[in-house]
Structures are given as C-alpha cells and as structure tokens.
Amino acid sequence: MDSASHRYPVPVGKSTARGSQPGARGLRSTSARRLLARLGSASVIAAMAALLLAAAPVAAAGPHKLFVSPSGNDAGSCSRWAPCQTIGHAVQVAAPGTKIVVRAGTYREAVVIPKQLRLIGHHAVIDASGLLASVPGPLNDQGIVGWAVLIVGPDSAGTVFKGFTVENAAAEGILAVMTSKVTIKRNELTHNDMGASPDFVSPPFECQAQGQIPGDCGEALHLMGVADSRVVWNNVHDNVGGILLSDETGPTHGNLVAHNTSKNNLEDCGITLPSHNDKATTDPSLGGVYDNTILGNWSIGNGGAGVGMFAAGPGMASYNNRVIGNVLRDNGEAGVGIHSHAPDQNVSGNLIAANWISGNGVDPDFQGTDPAGPQNTGIAIGSVAVPVSVRVLGNWISNEYWGIYSSGSITIHGLRSNHFTRSVAHHTN
C-alpha cells in the first residue's frame, strides 16, 4: 500500500514498522525485501530463461485451435468434440500460436504458459485454492510459488489471456515475468494473495511476516520485467493488492494499463509502479519502471494509494510514466503518490493529468512530521534526498484536506491548471 509494501526484497537494510520514522515505509518493506527471498541471487535470475526452456514440454504439431472442458479427457485430442479436461494439458500439447478455448466451468489447477498462445475463457474459473504451484528447479527453491497463472519467458511473447475468473491463489492471480507484447484482457481477479491471511495453512515464504514487516503476497495481477504489453478491461477486486508493475528481473516499460477496475484491495495500492532493481538508474536495459501509461482506470477503496510510483533503495527508478484520466477515490492513502527515499534514485518525469481525485487518505511516508499532522491528500509527492520534477496538469480534486502535497526538493509543473472544489481545504502546502 506504500512505497515499500510488496514482497520482493532488495539489498538494503530492513525498514522499521509503519509510522516509526519519516519515510520508513518508503522501502516497500513487505515486497521490495522479498526479491532475494524469491529470486535469491543474480545467478538464479540469470538461469531463469534457460530453466524455463528446459522445463517446458515440447509442443506437439497439431491444430491451431484446441478446446478444454471440465467434462473432457486429457487422453483425447483436445478437439471441439473431444476436449481436454485441464488447461495445463492443452497448453502442454499446443504448438506456439494455438488458440485454446476454455469452456465454462471451474478448473482447480495452476497454469504455466511458456510459449505464445491465445487462451480464451468462456465463463471459465481458475481456482487455485490450496495450490502452491512452482516451476521445477531454482525458482521453486527460492519460493516463486503460489500463483494461479504464470506467463513466463521470452517465448511467451504475444500471448493473449482473456475472459477468465482467477481466484484464491496464495500469491498472484496472474504473474507475467520476462516477456513482452502480452495482452491480459477482460479477466476478473478476486480473493488472491490468500497466503497473507493468518488462516492460510503453510503459506509461501514471501507471504510470511519478517519481524515487524507484515506478510504480503504482492498483488492480484503482476508484470515483472515485462515490456510493451496491455492490461485492459480487467476487474481486480477484493485481493490483498491490485495491479503491480515492477522490475526485479529486468525493466518494465512501454506497457498500457487501461480501463481496469481495481477496487477494495484492502491491504495495498490499487495500481503500483515500484522499482526494486538497483541497476535502474545506471542502465535502463537492466532495470527501471518507465514509459508506462495508466489510463482511464477506476482505483477505488483500496488500502494504499490509488496509483503509486515509488523507488525503494539506491539506484532504483520509476520515471516517465503517465497517469491520465483515472478515477481515484476513497483509497486509504493519497489518490496518487510519488516517493523517493534514498540517494541515486529517479522518480522524475512522471505525468499526472486529467484525473478525478476525491476522498482519499493520508500519505504516511511524508506527512508524519508535518505540523498539521497527517491529512487526507489528493496527490502526494515526496523525496528525501534527490530533486524531483513532475507534471501535474488539469486534475479535478475534491474532498481532500491537501489537494497537492509535496515534501523535499520537488518541482511541480502545471499547478495552476488543476481544479479544486471548495471541499479541498488547502490546494497546495
């Protein structure tokens, strides 16, 4: 919910608990610190592509359309009249480029997609209750488990995943890693990140509390090291967190996140763009969350910010992203948050434009020492160590104490173009 609350650790010291000192949560403690817990070391990351290729089954030559039904049989041909019974089997036997039509019903499985496919659900539910799916080898050893759908590796570029309900995963409902040109469209994701619940039996390591840092299984829909992809028209509700774009395994850039609803994800942000890769400021080909467009989404009633752009430790960067035309309402933290907490970071160049922002919460990272105390805030921009320059243009802000709040060396272009109703006590601090 803040700039440090995802599960992937970074090589910096642990932050303290919420509110213990200004900016303590800016290291995205519950997620940023779990990068090494899941990925372990650079050698594990480097081995990922080779491992996935080795683990992927050889695609069979066959028709370019396969069918799956709960009443089918995996010993069959996966044809219209003799469908497979499981999605995983259809993926295994499909040649790259195949369309897989998944008929109505509930599929209690976790699905790995390591090749380019089109998976189209027709009232199909993927229920990952109690499953801790993994890819064999070092990824499993490092705790990359618990997702319901994993789109993974360069060979999965161009995959379409559309029309499914994905629910009850221990970690992410949909996780895309080290791929590009993926389309994730018109899915419903609900009750994922279940490993963070105290009632979950044997949760994955990344979901377990680490001292003062509470357990957090990340988000319902996660792009990690993903480029030029589209996340559109999804309904993401009642998870721990909503939609996440991060850079642990490489840069996440050029993606469109549009017309989604991210609602009532009560422990984290609606849409979050945090950098956890300490190579991001030195080499954009290795890390960074940049040049992404967050357009026309509804981010409502989430526990953290409506949209957040954050840098965790030194060398990390979330920059040149565009947040345009979104409805950001009734979130637990600011409608939009931009945070930098350490030297050698970059959160500049971000654009916040033409959003409808109303009735959001406080920014705990930077308002803790304010004489006025923490107050409801529409847009919060803070930096501890580095100058930050952003554009904030033509937003409509209502029902907030602070319309736009800044802390540190912040340059905001376009302040006069924003619209504040009388329900905003102070337009800017």
Cβ atoms of residues 374 and 353 within 8 Å:
no
Q: Considering the entire predicted model, what is its pTM? A: 0.86
Question: What does the alpha-carbon distance between residue 7 and residue 28 come to, in Å, rounded to a whole number?
Answer: 8
Q: What does the pLDDT look like over 377-426, one tens digit per residue?
A: 999 999 999 999 999 999 999 999 999 999 999 999 999 999 999 999 99
Structure token digits, residue 127: 């229920």
Cβ atoms of residues 26 and 368 within 8 Å:
no
3-state helix, strand, coil in the chain (%, to 5): 10, 35, 55
Average pLDDT on 221-232 reads 96
Q: What does the pLDDT look like over 44-100, one tens digit per residue?
A: 344 444 444 444 444 444 558 999 999 999 999 999 999 999 999 999 999 999 999
Cβ atoms of residues 316 and 278 within 8 Å:
yes
- Residue 295: is its pLDDT beyond 80? yes
Question: What does the alpha-carbon distance between residue 270 and residue 323 come to, in Å, rounded to a whole number?
Answer: 13
- List Cα–Cα distances, 380 to 136, 254, 429, in angstroms: 42, 24, 10
| Eight-class DSSP state of 412 | E
Cβ atoms of residues 341 and 370 within 8 Å:
no
CA dihedral for 365, 368, 369, 373, sign (positive or negative): positive
- Residue 8: is its pLDDT beyond 90? no
Q: What does the pLDDT look like over 316-353, one tens digit per residue?
A: 999 999 999 999 999 999 999 999 999 999 999 999 99
Exposed, middle or buried: residue 230 (CB in 10 Å: 0-12, 13-18, 19+)? middle
Share of the chain above pLDDT 70, in %: 77
pLDDT band of 111, cuts 50, 70, 90? very high
Q: Tell me, what's the pLDDT at 45? A: 41
Question: Per DSSP, what are the bridge partners of residue 149?
Answer: 111, 174
Question: Per DSSP, what are the bridge partners of residue 324?
Answer: 295, 353
Q: What does the pLDDT look like over 116-169, one tens digit per residue?
A: 999 999 999 999 998 876 665 545 555 567 889 999 999 999 999 999 999 999
Q: What does the pLDDT look like over 12-60, one tens digit per residue?
A: 222 222 232 333 233 333 333 343 333 433 443 444 444 444 444 444 4
Question: What does the alpha-carbon distance between residue 44 and residue 49 come to, in Å, rounded to a whole number?
Answer: 10
Question: What does the alpha-carbon distance between residue 120 and residue 317 come to, in Å, rounded to a whole number?
Answer: 35
Q: Which residues contact 81 (CB under 8 A, 6 or more apart)?
A: none
Indicate the residue type of 379: I
CA dihedral for 7, 254, 161, 267, sign (positive or negative): positive
Q: Which of 285, 365, 273, 276 is nearest to 316 (CA)?
A: 276
Question: What does the alpha-carbon distance between residue 91 and residue 98 come to, in Å, rounded to a whole number?
Answer: 9
Average pLDDT on 216-241 reads 91
